[in-house]
Structure 1
């Protein structure tokens, strides 16, 4: 079993403020397909960085012998352990800035996490060291030509998406999703985010993972790299 000695700053654990509603939204809007279509050849071990409530980790556990899933938010990890436990998944509270892991992995994934990290090149370098030969890194994160989009833009987008969400998820789920997207805690969280432009994203990730390829998925950019 892996252990984390790192002190967790309560000030940083903003997801604790809305863990249950975030899990609800993330479950509806899961993008697991991007990851399951890009699995590593070897299915021994996988690492999910910023695992949240365990949606992706639980899916990976169907393919891999062992999955280690780390996140800063203890409330999200509590949801993961309650709703998405499995004998081959280990959930650990750990800061993605300081990955205290003495193992290497066949697959390393992360979804919408790395834009929260203050020193992205250093974090990516740490990820690279945790990858086995012939292993694969599959990452997905937000990109935007505006570093921090205005709050009014998030409000307008939430309202605009309501009717399509009703068709996709049903009225009740769409209403709950809209309420979450317009909640003060979520909007305050978004106001603290800092996104890379597509160009900067490709430069930074490409420098760390030479020969990687990129996939644009709406407001997200995917990165896939094999350690050949």
Structure 2
């Protein structure tokens, strides 16, 4: 285990504040299909960067001999260990922009994490070096034509989605989801996000992973690349 230093603790406070409700929402709205449909041919060891409460890591553990899952938030990792532990999963507290893992991986995944990184091209180059020959990169992240959307847009969107969510998840779950989406801690977090546009996303990821292909999923963009 990597011991957290003061920088990690300081940066993880925002995530810790909403970890429990984030886990509820992420579990309800899991998008693991994008990843499980694009697994690597070799099923040795997988890396999940920004694993949150371990939803994707736990799914990958069904396919891979070993899964390393890293996240900045101690509270997120506590929930992951409590709810989604497995003999072949190792959860590590670590900053995704300063990965220090002396090993190679057959699959490297990440969901909605990289828009937080201060120097994305450098981080992607470092991650690329950790991939085994014939390994696979599968990333999914938010995109927006507005770098930081206005908070009021998130509030309006949450209210708009309430009735459809009631139909899909039931009134009680939809109500809890709405409260999370308009909670001060979550809105404060969203106000700090910096998103790439679709054009910027394609340019940065395409430059690092030549020959990759992209999949647009609503307000998310996926990138898939195999190390041939």
- Please report the TM-score for the alignment, with normalisation by the length of structure 2: 0.98
What is the CA-CA distance between 1:5 and the residue it aligns to? 5.7
1:60 equivalent in structure 2: 60
Structure 1 stretches of 4+ with a deviation exceeding 3 A read none
1:87-128 CA-to-partner distances (Å, cap 9, x unmatched) read 000000000011000000000000000000000001101110
SS in 2 for 1:9: helix
2:2 equivalent in structure 1: 4
What is the CA-CA distance between 1:192 and the residue it aligns to? 0.4
Q: Separation in 2 of the partners of 1:6 and 1:172?
A: 37
2:204 equivalent in structure 1: 204
2:51 equivalent in structure 1: 51
Correspondence 1:38 to 2:38: yes
Q: Separation in 2 of the partners of 1:4 and 1:46?
A: 18
1:178-222 CA-to-partner distances (Å, cap 9, x unmatched) read 000000000000000000000000000000000000000010000
1:17-64 CA-to-partner distances (Å, cap 9, x unmatched) read 011000000101111000000000000000000000000000000000
Q: Within 5 Å, which residues of 2 pair with 1:77-96?
A: 77-96=77-96
CA contact (8 A) 1:6 1:95 kept: no
Please, which runs of 5 or more residues in structure 1 have no aligned partner?
none
What is the CA-CA distance between 1:6 and the residue it aligns to? 6.1
What is the CA-CA distance between 1:10 and the residue it aligns to? 2.5
- Please report the TM-score for the alignment, with normalisation by the length of structure 1: 0.98
CA contact (8 A) 2:4 2:93 kept: no
SS in 1 for 2:215: strand
Q: Separation in 1 of the partners of 2:202 and 2:172?
A: 39
Correspondence 1:26 to 2:20: no
1:164-189 CA-to-partner distances (Å, cap 9, x unmatched) read 11111111000000000000000000
Please, which runs of 5 or more residues in structure 2 have no aligned partner?
none
CA contact (8 A) 2:25 2:177 kept: yes
| Matched residue count | 226
